Structure formats: C-alpha cells, structure tokens
Amino acid sequence: MTVPAVASIPNVLDPRGPAAADIAVLWWVMFALGTAVFVAVTVLLIVSVVRRRTAPVAEDALAGEGFAGGSNVLMAVGGITLPAVVVVGLMAATVVTADRVATVGNPEEALVIDVTGHKFWWDVRYPDHDIRIANEVHIPVGQPVEIRVTSKDVIHSFWIPQLGGKIDMNPGHENTLRLVAHEPGAYRGLCTEYCGVQHARMHFIAVAHEPESFEEWLADHAEPPDQPDEEGAVAGREVFVGAGCAECHTVDGVSPLIDDYPDLTHFAERRTIAAGALDNNRGNLGGWILDPQGLKPGNRMPPANLTGEELQDLLDYLETLR
C-alpha cells in the first residue's frame, strides 16, 4: 500500500518550523566542515603515499621517531589544535542551537497538548479544550505548542521530523516538547523508540492549520457529532455497539470514555487508519475492520465477525462521525 498522500515525506532537511530549520542549518554547516576534514585527511593520505612512490623499497628501517622534533609539532597541530578548534566551535553551536530549539516560542502563549503513547497508537488530548483524538495532532501555524508526552506501556518516542527533534515517552514520567510550525500543511510523525512488533507502523499526522481554520477545528471537535438519521447509518450505530466496537472505542454520546483504545468520535475527519498506515477511505476501512491483524499483525484489535450488510451499515455510520 502506498503512503497516504495526506502527509509529506518526513524530511529533516525540508523544515517547516523554526526548530527544524535551525537544526537543518546546523547540519549543513557541520556537513561542510566534515567534508572538509574528510577531504583533507584523504588528500594527506594520498600525498604521503604517492610522494615516495618512486623511492626504492627501504632495506633497513628508519631509526628514531622522525621529523627531528617536528613530529611533536605535527601531532600538536593536527591531532590536538585543529580538532580542538572545531570542537570548541561545535560546543558553542550546541549550546546556542539547543537553547533556541528547546525554548522555541513564548511559553505563555503555548497551546498545551497531551500525547500518550500506546502500543501502537497515539492518544492525543487538548486539556484546555476537552478534546480527545487519536493518531493526529492539530496545531495552529505560528503559535508555540507545548506537547506533554508520556506512555501507558513501554517507552515510545514522539517525532515530527519537519518541525523539530524528538522526545521519549517514558511510562511513569512526563516530558515536554516545544514546537512551532511556520507553514500550514500535514506532516508525518513517527514513533522512534522500538516498542514492539508493530513499531514500524506507529505513525501519526501532524496538521498545521492557519489560525482561523484551527479555531474552526477546535470548535468543531468540542461538540460530539450529530446522531445519524439516515437508515443505514442508524443500523450501523447498532452494529458498532452490538459487535463490540463500543467496548473498546469511545464515541462521544454512544460509548463511554475508555482510555486504553483510540477515540473514534470524529473518526470520519481522520486522514489515516491504523496510525498512519492507510488512507482513511471506505475501502481501506472495510478491509481494516474485517482483518486488522492482516495489515498490522500483533496490534490489539481483533477481527470483526460481520456480514456484508453489517459492514456496509457500519461504514455508513462511521462516515457520519464528523
């Protein structure tokens, strides 16, 4: 299956926020320095080999340590001084850039988002707005966001390459990551701490909205979706409850709050299924519901035993969850 076109390639060198941009600049500077050093060492090696190419093979070994005292100078310059200069420069760059990256944006204005890692999905909540979603993070462009992360089971790691560095999600602890997006768009995020059999398929989508669009999104998600009135969807809601989906998945107004599994209240607006693995469209969703272990073996969703009609009704219902 192909990557959902809903999110860009998570390219660290295609930054969409100031933290990632700073780090990208830092990288290019280091790349230039590193290339220069490697080329210099290679050239020195080649020259030192080639310069004696036509000399006769030495019968006796040279005596003494060489360069008549110059070897100390050579070691001091090449082995100590030059690396030391580079190292001190990099230390300064470290301190400056790390500070800028870690403190991006004014903390007073920061939007707080709580993200909890699970095997193999992301529980995302907006504590100041009473919103709960899964496998997506929505943020306003230009406003700093403070993401507080933890885990419900093993160690995960939260990373949006195009916006900034990653932070580990440790059970029993809380870490904070500050990010700002300076361009609207949808960016792929990934789990970057091996967390088990489906670590490979623990992605999420970070959507950066223009400020007005973000306000709309907040307003929209503060309310539960309207109950369906179309016949198929109503039947589908019964399937949702009857087939056991409601025992794990929360839909505001239909099933109670359950912490351990993804919230599906506004599922129809979600761009992907199975934490970033599939486009959220009807065909993919049907396949996923019937056989989640086929796509993502080892995740915690069991297959659903549904007739064809029940499945269609359920899909109709899920499409109303906006």
Partner 1 sequence: MTATQVDLDRLQRVWDAPPTFRGWLTMVNHKTIGKRFLVTGAAFFVLGGVLALIMRVQLAMPELGLVNPQAYNELFTMHGVTMAFLFIVPVLEGFAIFILPLMVGARDLPFPRLTALGYWVYLLAGVFIFSSVFVGAVPDGGWYAYVPFTGPEFTPGLSMDFWLLGITFLEISAIGAGIEIAALLFKNRAPGMTIARMPIFAWSMLVTSFIIIFAFPTLIVGSILLEVERKIGAPFYNPDLGGNEILWQHLFWWFGHPDVYIWLLPGVGIISMIVPTFTRAPLVGYTWVVASTVVAGVLSFGVWVHHMFTVGLPLLTISFFGGASLVFALPSGVQVFSWIATIWRGGRVRWATPMLFAAGTILVFTFGGISGIMLGVVPFNWQAHDTYFVVAHFHYVLIGGSVLPMFAGAYYWWPKLTGRVLSERLGRWNFWLFIVGLNLTFLPLHVLGFLGMPRRIYTYLDGLGWGPLNLLATVGAFLTAAGVLAFLVNAVVSQRRPPADSDPWGAGTLEWAGPVLPTSYNFASYPVVRSRYPLWDQGSVLADDDLMRRWTDPLAEPLHDEREILITSEIDAEPQTVAILPQQSIWPLNLAVALAVALTGLLADIYWLAGVGLAGSIIVGIVWAWTGHDFEPIEEMVEP
Per-residue DSSP letter, 77: I
What's the min distance (Å) between Cβ of 95 and partner 1? 6
Report 8-27 residues binding partner 1 (CB under 8 A). Answer: 9-13, 20, 22-23, 26-27
- At residue 59, the 3 state secondary structure works out as coil
- Written as one string, the DSSP assignment of 252-311 is TTTS---TTS---TTGGG-SEETTTTEE--HHHHHHHHH-HHHHSTTSSPPPP---HHHH
**Contacting residue, 78, 242, 253, 303, with partner 1 by CB under 8 A:** 78
Question: CA 114 to CA 137: how far, in whole Å?
Answer: 10
Q: Which two tokens stand for residue 6?
A: 């809903």
What's the min distance (Å) between Cβ of 167 and partner 1? 6
| Bond prior to 31 in cis (omega within 30° of 0) | no
Question: CA 186 to CA 132: how far, in whole Å?
Answer: 19
Does position 86 bind partner 1 by CB under 8 A? yes
**Contacting residue, 6, 114, 146, 154, with partner 1 by CB under 8 A:** 154
**Contacting residue, 112, 129, 146, 165, with partner 1 by CB under 8 A:** 165
Does position 42 bind partner 1 by CB under 8 A? yes
Report 188-227 residues binding partner 1 (CB under 8 A). Answer: 188, 190-200
Report 89-108 residues binding partner 1 (CB under 8 A). Answer: 90-91, 93-95, 97-99, 101-102
With the C-alpha atoms ordered 282, 136, 208, 195, is the resulting torsion angle positive or negative? Answer: negative
Does position 229 bind partner 1 by CB under 8 A? no
Site string for partner 1, 271-310 (x = CB under 8 A): ------x-------------------xx------------
Does position 69 bind partner 1 by CB under 8 A? no
Residue where the block lists tokens 């100031």: 18
Helix boundaries (H) for 123-223: 211-222
**Contacting residue, 71, 227, 281, 293, with partner 1 by CB under 8 A:** 71
Question: CA 134 to CA 236: how far, in whole Å?
Answer: 21
What's the min distance (Å) between Cβ of 114 and partner 1? 15
- Which of residues 59 and 229 has its CB atom nearest to partner 1 in the complex? 59
What's the min distance (Å) between Cβ of 24 and partner 1? 8
E strands within 93-216? 111-118, 121-126, 131-134, 136-140, 145-151, 156-159, 167-169, 175-179, 185-191, 203-209
- Which among 169, 186, 188, 167 has a CA at the least distance from the CA of 178? 167
Does position 61 bind partner 1 by CB under 8 A? yes
Which uninterrupted H or E stretch holds 279? strand 278-279
**Contacting residue, 44, 219, 222, 258, with partner 1 by CB under 8 A:** 44
- Which of residues 119 and 237 has its CB atom nearest to partner 1 in the complex? 119
What's the min distance (Å) between Cβ of 185 and partner 1? 15
- Residues contacting partner 1: total by CB under 8 A: 95
